[in-house]
Every structure is written in C-alpha cells, then in structure tokens.
Amino acid sequence: MRVINFNAGPAGLPLPALERARDELLDFQGSGMSIMEHSHRGKEYDAVHQETIARLERLLGLPKTHTVLFSTGGASMQFALIPTNFLHAGTSADYVLTGGWSEKALDEAKVLGQTRVAASTRNPDGRYTRVPTQAEVTFDPKAAYVHTTSNNTLFGTQFHSFLDTGAVPHVCDMSSDFLWKPIDCAKFDLIYAGAQKNLGPSGVVVIVAKKAFLESARKDIPKVFRYQTHAEANSLYNTPPTLAIYLVRNVLTWMEGQGGLPAMERRNRAKADALYGCLDSLAGFYSAPVEKASRSTMNVVFRLPSEALEEQFVAEAKKAGMVGLKGHRLTGGLRVSTYNAVSEADVQTLVGFMKSFAKSKG
Ligand SMILES: Cc1ncc(COP(=O)(O)O)c(C=O)c1O
C-alpha cells in the first residue's frame, strides 16, 4: 500500500512514472536488459537522453538561445561550480539571501572570490519569513552575476515575481520549484534544479543555461568543471546518471500527459490555496510564520501550539497514511511539501485531517 508522501526531497514521484519503470526494469524495450545496464553511448540510452532533453525544451518553450544540461553532485555542487565558472578574477558576484540554501551558495562563492550580499531577509533569530521586493535589492551593475533562490525549501518562502537583474546575468537555484508553472527562461542566464523534488529522483541536476553565458565562462579551470564542456558534449562528456535521467523522462512524460506546466500550475495553486485556507481559518490553533506575499506553493510550513502537539500531529498523520510532515531539522515545526506529484485529493485528505486534529486538540 502506498502512502501519501509529503516529503521535501527526495519526494514522491507520480505513480505512472514508477509503474513504467517497474514494467521496463528487467527488459527495456525488448533489449533483454534494464536501461541502467545499457551503454550511455548505445542507441537505446541515447534515445532516452534525447527524449528527456526534447521534453524539457518543449515543456519550457525553451528559446534557441538556451540549452539544457544534466549535471551530478546535487544542487550543492552547483553552488561551487557557478563561481568556479563565472566569478572571473577581479570581479564580484551578488547574492540574494533568502534562506539556508542561498547562504550555502554564498559560502562556496566566498571561497573562490569576491562576493556581495545584494539583499538579505534574514531575521535576527536567523529565520527567514519572506523574500525581498525589487525595491529592497541593490545590484552591483558590474557584478559577474546575481544569484537568487526561487523557492526556499526550509522556510517555505517563494518569489512570486522574479527580481529584475537588468544587464547583470541572473543565476537561479530553482531546485524546489522548477517546473511548478510556466516560466520565461529567456530572463535567466542559468537555472539549476536538483531533480529530487519536482522532476525525478536524486542523482541528476537539470541546468537550463544561456549559450552565450556558458561561452563567457572561465577557461582556466579543469575541463570537467566547465559547464561548456558538458554543453558541447550534449551532457555525454562522461557517463551521465542514466537511470536518474530515464526516470526524469518518465516524470516529464507524465507531466506532458497531464497538460504540461499550465496544468501543473493550476493544480499547485489549488493545493496551496486549500492548505493556506485551512491554516488561516484555524489561525487560533495553527500558525503560519511566512508573510502572505511570500508564501510558497511548494513547501507550506506551520506550527502548532506546542512541540508535543506537533509530534502528536506527525504520529497521527502517519497512522492515517500520510508521511513527510516533520519540518526541517533546523527550523522545527511542520512542513507539507506539495510538489507536482502530490495530487489535489492527497491535499484534501490532509486538510480533512488538520481540521479534525484542531477540533479534537484545540
Ligand atoms: C533550494 C535548494 N537548493 C539546494 C539544495 C541542495 O540540494 P542537493 O542535496 O541536491 O545538493 C536543496 C535541497 O533540498 C534545495 O532545496
């Protein structure tokens, strides 16, 4: 029996994507072996690789100026690879701090060169409860790039309109909200997203980058660290994570079958409205710390009157078939992650549980 999975990542995957993997596991398309046993240079895997890229391009409506890459090492490795590639000697990079992940991204850049905090919404207690408005950010017009985080997985905040970085290249960590809705990729120079939330299992990072930005990168770094090396080799410079990419292919196939990104957005907004509506209507019992304009559609965080009640909530929800509700170890409280694979019905089940829990304990 499958549970309702509200994990923050790795997160639940759409059932049809898993069923397809199960059906194809031992004998991929009559080849007598699984996809992960195929050579990454063979025609079977190559078809999967090209299809995954083509589906991403189609879902995003990607302009010809941009390209799709696959990387490994998680989003955390991109924290280091970005300054390695783009923080040229004598330049500085701007970082917008909106949560723990953006702090980590900044820490890696600091090791390699000059950085500047263009804005920070960190509260005195170290928590973040909102993202900055455009007016609060001061960009260095000479910056090598501006780094932002579109959705802050730990604190449950999200940019609902992206910052305009002007002529300065915009690099964005979209690990926890990539493909939640249509986006205009032309506005970004580099987007990266670990797959394990909205688009597949861990092990692969999807990168969408402006070709000219990749060409502008430093050349005095090891070849394997250069994004351009991987772009020139169509992400086949070395052995890619073939099984993870195959699973991303299955998830993207499901997404397109559901109606693509407009359909994902409608579902995701409906789920977020249901959850925040429930929290607001029971505000005497539940408290939602994030300012309304910054509320995430992907990670809904809230607290109960006591830690004992929070523990009870998690335990009783588990008995009712719902897992993954405990907040991040750094933030405490509760967190519901409602990535693309979580259905509206799943969220309605949780909302029903939240109402009856508040009624019986409040
Ligand atoms: C926004 C964001 N950035 C980066 C990361 C780090 O990803 P990884 O564990 O793949 O390095 C995470 C992981 O949860 C995340 O949510």
**Which CATH fold would you assign to the domain 260-361?**
Aspartate Aminotransferase, domain 1 (3.90.1150)
DSSP conformational letter for 326:
B
Domain limits of the chain?
15-257, 260-361
| Atom of ligand 1 at shortest range from CA of 8 | 14
Q: Which residue type sits at 219? A: K
pLDDT of residue 160: 98
User: Is position 173 annotated as part of the catalytic site?
Assistant: yes
Pocket test for ligand 1, best of 70, 95, 104, 153 (most atoms within 8 A of CB): 153
Q: Assess whether the C-beta atom of 317 lies below 6 angstroms from ligand 1.
A: no
Task: Tell whether ligand 1 has an atom less than 6 A from the beta carbon of residue 177.
Answer: no
pLDDT at 39: 98
| Tens place of pLDDT per residue across the chain (362 aa) | 899 999 999 999 999 999 999 999 999 999 999 999 999 999 999 999 999 999 999 999 999 999 999 999 999 999 999 999 999 999 999 999 999 999 999 999 999 999 999 999 999 999 999 999 999 999 999 999 999 999 999 999 999 999 999 999 999 999 999 999 999 999 999 999 999 999 999 999 999 999 999 999 999 999 999 999 999 999 999 999 999 999 999 999 999 999 999 999 999 999 999 999 999 999 999 999 999 999 999 999 999 999 999 999 999 999 999 999 999 888 889 999 999 999 999 999 999 999 999 999 98
Q: Is 201 in the pocket of ligand 1 (CB under 6 A)?
A: no
**pLDDT for res 362:** 81
Q: Which of 72, 76, 107 to mutate to test the pocket of ligand 1 (most atoms within 8 A of CB)?
A: 76
Strand, helix or coil at 7? coil
Is the CB of 158 within 6 Å of ligand 1?
no
Decide whether any atom of ligand 1 lies within 6 Å of the 244 Cβ: no
**Is the CB of residue 310 below 6 angstroms from any atom belonging to ligand 1?**
no
Q: Give the number of the atom of ligand 1 that is nearest the alpha carbon of residue 151.
A: 1
Q: Which atom of ligand 1 is nearest to the CA of 150?
A: 1
Pocket test for ligand 1, best of 175, 176, 337 (most atoms within 8 A of CB): 175
321 lines ligand 1 (CB under 6 A): no
Whole-angstrom Cα distance, residue 154 to residue 100?
7
Cα 292 to ligand 1 centroid, rounded to whole Å: 24
At 329 the pLDDT is 83
Which residues have a Cβ under 8 Å from the Cβ of 203 and sit 6 or more positions away? Answer: 72, 195, 196, 241, 243, 244
**Protein residue closest via CA to atom 9 of ligand 1:** 74
Does the structural domain 15-257 have CATH classification 3.40.50.300?
A: no
197 catalytic? Reply is yes
- What is the three-class DSSP state of 62? coil
Q: What is the pTM of this model?
A: 0.98
Got the DSSP string for 122-177?
Answer: B-TTS-B-----GGG----TT-S-EEEESEETTTTEE-SS----TTS-EEEE-TTT
**Maximum CA pair distance of the chain?**
64
101 is catalytic: yes
Whether the CB-CB separation of 102 and 232 falls below 8 Å is answered with no
